[in-house]
């Protein structure tokens, strides 16, 4: 595993390489930072910058063709890690190398503007991620069809249920023909039919994409879909290995009994 990461012709056997990555947020205490509170604080001589160590010295590499599950408690840094690999959050130290175009589906859906219809959100998301208008319009129809939302696709997204927007988000991520697919909690709100369809689609993509990342609290789907897993706890990489082992260790750590409910929803 620790041989040359880049071969002579410039291609790599790795899809993603994360090297000693740390991400520290500096944010203010307030939910909404305002000039008024900043002045008040300044008057009192306070400093309100709080450092959040979201990721601490994490290193791992993902080979081509891997499907990696990322597990951990809420706030463990899973989504931060994915955003960093997608180039959205800059590392504080360390580096990330990514070979390929990443498609992200983070925190349920692309729908950022609730006043717009699902289709308009799909088009905007596609254009933002760098596709041309022609490519986007071709795909928007495929995506709309795949979601099976019928007429809802042309209704404002504020009329959607959470499961419906999850469908749109998932469908966008998988239809952008990404080299590296990142899926964050997308399956938790879908119904049985959608989960099955999404699982089938992910299995299909696992063949074509260079790598896949799946963040899920559904430990069952991690075991089923992934051939590798990492476990993050408070920003630290606790374990990496076979999904079975990592999931077992994680459950042991949480001291929860293995039952049907826990494997789907922890």
Applying CB under 8 A, the residues found at the interface with another protein are 10-12, 25-27, 32-36, 38, 83-84, 86-102, 104-107, 109-113, 115-116, 120, 123-125, 127-133, 135, 177, 179, 210
Q: How far is the CB of 96 from another protein (least distance, A)?
A: 4
Integer Cα distance of 81 and 187 in angstroms: 19
Comparing CB distances to another protein, the nearer of 205 and 247 is 205
Q: How far is the CB of 78 from another protein (least distance, A)?
A: 14
44, 210 Cβ separation under 8 angstroms: no
Comparing CB distances to another protein, the nearer of 167 and 210 is 210
Q: How far is the CB of 182 from another protein (least distance, A)?
A: 10
End-to-end CA distance of the chain: 32
Comparing CB distances to another protein, the nearer of 51 and 196 is 51
Q: What contacts 141, CB < 8 A, 6 or more positions away?
A: none
What is the rounded (10 degree) CA torsion for 8, 10, 14, 16? 140
Integer Cα distance of 134 and 266 in angstroms: 42
Comparing CB distances to another protein, the nearer of 12 and 263 is 12
Comparing CB distances to another protein, the nearer of 133 and 258 is 133
Q: How far is the CB of 1 from another protein (least distance, A)?
A: 20
Comparing CB distances to another protein, the nearer of 184 and 228 is 184
What is the rounded (10 degree) CA torsion for 245, 247, 252, 257? -120
Q: How far is the CB of 249 from another protein (least distance, A)?
A: 29
The token pair at 142 is: 């495929």
Q: How far is the CB of 62 from another protein (least distance, A)?
A: 14
The DSSP letter of residue 76 is S
46, 38 Cβ separation under 8 angstroms: no
Q: Which of 99, 100, 94 is nearest to 81 (CA)?
A: 94
């Amino acid at each position: 595993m620790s041989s040359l990461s880049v071969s002579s012709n410039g291609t790599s056997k790795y899809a993603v390489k994360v090297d000693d990555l740390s991400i520290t947020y500096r944010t203010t205490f307030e939910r909404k930072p305002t000039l008024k509170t900043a002045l008040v604080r300044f008057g009192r001589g306070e400093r309100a910058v709080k450092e959040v160590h979201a990721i601490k010295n994490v290193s791992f590499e993902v080979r081509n063709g891997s499907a990696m599950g990322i597990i951990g408690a809420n706030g463990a840094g899973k989504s931060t890690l994915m955003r960093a690999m997608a180039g959205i959050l800059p590392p504080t130290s360390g580096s990330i190398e990514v070979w390929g175009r990443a498609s992200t589906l983070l925190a349920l859906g692309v729908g950022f503007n609730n006043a717009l219809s699902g289709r308009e959100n799909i088009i905007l998301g596609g254009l933002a991620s760098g596709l041309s208008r022609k490519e986007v319009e071709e795909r928007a129809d495929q995506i709309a069809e795949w979601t099976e939302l019928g007429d809802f696709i042309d209704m404002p997204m504020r009329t959607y249920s959470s499961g419906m927007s999850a469908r749109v988000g998932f469908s966008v991520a998988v239809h952008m023909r990404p080299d590296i697919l990142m899926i964050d909690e997308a399956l938790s709100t879908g119904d049985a039919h959608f989960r099955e369809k999404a699982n089938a689609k992910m299995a299909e993509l696992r063949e074509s994409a260079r790598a896949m990342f799946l963040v899920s609290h559904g430990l069952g789907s991690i075991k089923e879909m992934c051939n590798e897993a990492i476990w993050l706890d408070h920003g630290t990489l606790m374990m990496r290995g076979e999904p079975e082992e990592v999931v077992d260790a994680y459950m042991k750590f949480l001291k929860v009994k293995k039952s049907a409910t826990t494997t789907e929803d922890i």
